[in-house]
Structures are given as C-alpha cells and as structure tokens.
Amino acid sequence: MSLSAPSFEFSLAGQKLTAHTGILELMDDLGRAMTVAPHMRMLGGGNPAAVPGLQSLVRERMGELMADGDAFERMLVSYDPPQGNPRFLRALAELLQRTYGWNIGPQNLAVTGGGQSAFFFLFNLLAGRFGGGRRKKILLPLAPEYIGYADQGLEPDLFVACRPVIEWPQGHDAKVFKYTIDFAAVERALVRGDIGAIAASRPTNPTGNVVTDAEVARLSALALAHGIPLILDNAYGTPFPDVMFVPAKPFWAPHVILTLSLSKLGLPGTRTGIVIAPEKIASAIASLTAVVGLANNNIGQQIVLPWIENGKILELGPKILRPFYAEKAAAAARWAREYFDPAGLDWALHATEGAFFHWLWLKHLRIPTRELYARLKARNVLTVPGEYFFFGLEEEWSHQHECLRMNFSREPEVVREGYRLIAEEAAKASA
Ligand SMILES: Cc1ncc(COP(=O)(O)O)c(C=O)c1O
C-alpha cells in the first residue's frame, strides 16, 4: 500500500470561510504595511491612529495595573466567565442605565473578541438555515456596508442589501454627497418574509455616513413591526468611542442589539467587543464564546474599568478623539481639493460625519476601482476598492465600481502624498 499525502478536504462551511475573502486581503495588506512593508502609504484598513492623549491615559492605566497585584491577576492570571468580567458588566450596565435611562442589567451584556466576533455570532444565530427548510437573511438597509460582514455567513448568500438614495446636501458644486436610506426598498425587502434581522453600522464603514436619528427610529419601528431585531454596529459611534462629527443620539430598545468595541477608542490589540441585547441574545453570545474560546481577553476590560465606573469613557471621544480625527478629516479634504480638481477628475466625497474614512466617488473612471487599487498598490499606496462593500445587492450597479475608501488617520505626509498619487492614477484611468 503506498502512502499518499492527506488531501485535507474541508467541509462546505470550512471551504466557504477559507475562500479568498475580501477581509483576508484587507487584513493581510494592513498587517504587511504595518510590519514588513513600511514604505507602503497605508490608506487602507481600519486601524485607528495612535492618538497621543489617549495613549498617555492607557500607559498610565497599564502602570497602575502592573503595580496592583490583584488587578494584575484579574487581567492576566484568570479566565473570566464567558459573558465577560462581572464587575465590568455591572459597571457598564449601570453607566448606560443612569446616563440614557436604558432598562438593562448585566444580563443584557456580553463581551466578545472584538466586534468582528460579535457579528459572526449574531449573523449566524439570526440568519441561515432554520427548521422546516426555512432560510433567513440579514437585511442591510443601506449599501455600501462594512466589508468585514461580507464573508461571515456559514451559509452562502446571507445578506440582502438596499441601494441608497444619493443626496447633495450643499448642492453638486460642493462635491459632497450623502447616502440616505431608501425606505421603500427596505419595506419591499421586508415583505419577502425571510429577513432574520436588520443591520447597519453607524457611523458606516466605508463611507463615514451617520444614519440619522430619524432613520434609526424608522428602522427600529420597521424591525419591531416585523418581529425581528435591529442590529446597530457602533464601532465608531456613540456612546463610545464617539468619533462623530455630527450630532446623533445613542439608541437602544428591547428589540435592538447594539454592539460597541474598544478598538476605535485606540485599543484594537485588546480585541474587546460588547453586545447590548435582549437577555436571550446576550446569553447565546456567552454560550458561543464558551464553545469557541472559553472566555474573552480580560485586558481591555481591565484597562477601561475605572473609566466605565466613573463615566470618563463617555468623555474620551468628545474631548480627545473627535478633535484629533476632525483635524485629520479637514486636512485630507483640503488635499482632495488641491489634487483632484487640477487633475481634471469628476469627483466627490461622501459627507464625513464620523469614523476615519474618505469615500471617494470617481464618476468617469474607465476601469473598476479593483483595478485602480492594484495600480495604486504598485505605487505604494494602499486603499480599499469600493466593490467589496456592495455585497447583498441583487442587481449589478455601476456605482459600485466607481468608489474608493481611504483611511485618513495616518501621518499627514503619508495621506497627502497618497492623495496626490490617487489623483495621478485616477486621471490616467478616467475618460
Ligand atoms: C463597522 C465596523 N464594525 C466592526 C468592526 C470590527 O472591529 P473590532 O473587531 O476590532 O471591534 C470594524 C472594524 O474595522 C468596523 O469598521
């Protein structure tokens, strides 16, 4: 009998999750640029900036944790329960209750390994295959939507997405557009009867759009009327980290699942996500954490614990992060004008209402942005092509090949040179 090499055949779910995914390419590019390819101008990825005011607070807090034996043990030497550290959960529930009047307790919260894991759990709990041969999907009311969701389904075709309405709040000449939700399209999708949950990121990655309070209220009412949850992904928004440049109220209701994360506060390395949800959902998330990873990383929870207990966490965004990123956004918008106009491009940026991205619309591009991305990468500028963010649309839309996402939070000289090279390459590829 001859021994042949094992074929390592993967299950269907295994094949689906290990296919060449957009998020893998994105994180690979990002990881390389941050480590072995430092010459790359890194306008891709969603890495937060090293914000000095925030970093000094974290360093100080790490010093306290190292000096205090009990805290050090809580941070590194013990497993937390899978739902999260009990003191952390209690403090956060109390903070949200007293600040916003939300009727929640620790039983409504669950910690996860970053928001990304929370979404893997939530989407596969609420959509996919159900008893009696039924299938359910996640409805994204406003495409483009976060690339990181696209490949999370254990089952194929987990999403159905709606095209937005495109508005020009300051007129076309201002070159600033805003997507708003096409509620007629959302209602048409809901009456199909196969929607397990509605989900939206707020602010939205990739565009920096903040779905308005009125839009959130309407989505919430629609979800309630259809007996399904509304999932709001608050990776960048309020109550924290609050990297938002327009007013928007934090929102939770008993049929709403709100996810928070410590990543964009400046602690992505701690991998800490938080789900605020009906008790049944929060405890399902804890069960999944136990199965997949026993418990969560304790470090992020211990770093921010005093700021949750004294409420300071709600001030970090408005006082430290927002001014920092607002200045970055304004500088990058100036460079867009400085380079894109003289290059003869027909361009516009989405209104920068939150997060740290510019979403550039290049209307007369002769090539898809997938190709523009490759040409830019060859010139050491990393961006993310728009095509990745339109998953779930049932019909092809030319707009999805005309947009590019740039992270503007890196060093000024990197962003400026990046925008200059984008103008040059886009001009070569425009009609
Ligand atoms: C909209 C959105 N949601 C969720 C995440 C996941 O982040 P993390 O897993 O670091 O919390 C990100 C990260 O970029 C994001 O942009």
pLDDT in tens, 244-276: 999 999 999 999 999 999 999 999 999 999 999
Judge residue 291's burial from the number of C-beta atoms within 10 Å of its C-beta, 0-12 exposed, 13-18 middle, 19 or more buried.
exposed
Q: Verify whether ligand 1 is closer than 6 Å to residue 205 (CB atom).
A: yes
Is 115 close to ligand 1, i.e. is its CB under 6 Å away? yes
Strands 230-233 and 195-201: parallel
CB 288 within 8 A of CB 113: no
Name every residue whose Cβ is closer than 8 Å to that of residue 13 and which is 6 or more positions away in sequence: 154
Give Cα separations from 151 to 124, 144, 146, 220, 330 (angstroms): 11, 15, 11, 25, 33
* pLDDT score recorded for residue 18: 85
Q: Is 268 in the pocket of ligand 1 (CB under 6 A)?
A: yes
Ligand 1 binding pocket includes 407 (Cβ within 6 Å): no
pLDDT computed for residue 37 by the predictor: 73
Considering the entire predicted model, what is its pTM?
0.95
CA of 243 to the centre of ligand 1 (A): 13
User: Where are the extended beta strands (E) located within 44-125?
Assistant: 109-112
pLDDT value for 277? 98
**Residue 145 in contact with ligand 1 by CB distance below 6 A:** no
Candidate from 261, 285, 359 with most ligand 1 atoms within 8 A of CB, to mutate = 261
Count of CB atoms situated within 10 Å of the CB of 3: 5
- pLDDT for 23 equals 66
Ligand 1 atom at shortest distance from the alpha carbon of 263:
10
- Nearest by Cα to 49 from 272, 328, 319, 314: 328
Closest ligand 1 atom, CA of 117? Answer: 9
In this structure, what token pair is assigned to residue 30?
Answer: 């990002």
CA atoms of 425 and 118, how far apart (whole Å) = 38
Q: Ligand 1: does its nearest atom lie under 6 Å from the Cβ of 114? A: yes
Nearest CA to ligand 1 atom 3: 235
Q: Which residues of the chain are under the pLDDT cut of 50?
A: none
List the structure tokens of 398.
Answer: 């030319």
Which atom of ligand 1 is nearest to 113's Cα? 9
Q: What is the pLDDT of residue 1?
A: 58
227 Cα: distance to centroid of ligand 1 (angstroms): 27
Tell me the domains of the chain and their CATH numbers.
12-54+317-428 (3.90.1150.10), 78-315 (3.40.640.10)
Query: Residue 211 has which token pair?
Result: 């779905």
User: Of 414, 420, 417, 419, nearest to 49 (Cα)?
Assistant: 414
Residue given tokens 């927002």 in the structure block: 322
Atom number in ligand 1 closest to CA 146: 1
Mutate which of 29, 233, 274, 391 to test ligand 1's pocket (most atoms within 8 Å of Cβ)?
233
Structure tokens at 49: 């900036």
Q: What would the pLDDT profile of 84-100 be if each residue is shown by its tens digit?
A: 999 999 999 999 999 99
